[in-house]
Chains A and B, each alone.
Chain A
Amino acid sequence: QVQLQESGPGLVKPSETLSLTCSVSGGSIRSYDWSWFRQPPGKGLEWIGHTYGGGSTKFNPSLKSRVTISLDTSKNQFSLRLSSVTAADTAVYFCAGGGGRDFDYWGQGTLVTVSS
């Protein structure tokens, strides 16, 4: 059973870069495609970006200029970097994965607060 776990700082200062890692266990990161999502307080899920098993990426047009997603196959992890954060980026961030356009596997989420 594939399991995902997000990790990273829970507090980031405005204008800095948010960095999160998703550790994948129970399966090879090369076998699936992976995405990051977020859920701002009181709002719904928002897709942030996606990395295919081969390494190519796709991003939410509204966040594209600030997002980087990368794979580390040696550690079976993938990561998210979101630059120039503001309070509007405060959210619970989820990593998710699957074999097509559905997300079969999800992490529990990690709260990231943007505040000075």
Chain B
Amino acid sequence: QSVLTQPPSVSAAPGQMVTITCSGSSSNIGNNYVSWYRHVPGTAPTLLIYENSKRPSGIPDRFSGSKSGTSATLGITGLQTGDEADYYCGTWDNSLSAGGFWVFGGGTKLTVL
């Protein structure tokens, strides 16, 4: 059971927009930056968004991130078939008993119909 909650799957048609949500708690998303990763099975995962909404060099502005309270959202506009992948949110968890550690969502499979 993942600490962060994501929908197992989302789908949309080419050219459309999709959002993927990530829910957590005050010990993780509520007080830390959120990152998003894209993973095509069999390949290396890729950092898409860091510090809630920033894009690394080379990531197109079709990808956006936001955070509100204990939830974060990844948005993808102008969907392309090449966007089909698993998307993961991740953040730091400040749980005192564990001294802090990274937590991730269970992943959301994006299908571009």
Contacts and interface: CB of A to CB of B under 8 A. Distances in A.
Interface of A: 4, 35, 43-47, 50, 58-61, 94, 96, 98, 101-104, 106-109
Given A44-B2, A45-B88, A104 B47 contact: yes
Contacts, number: 64
Given A44-B88, A101-B91, 9 more contacts: A44-B106, A46-B104, A58-B99, A60-B101, A61-B97, A102-B47, A103-B37, A103-B47, A109-B44
Contacts of A103: 35, 37, 45, 47, 90
Interface in B82-98: 86, 88, 90-92, 97-98
Interface residues of B, number: 31
Contacts of A109: 42, 44
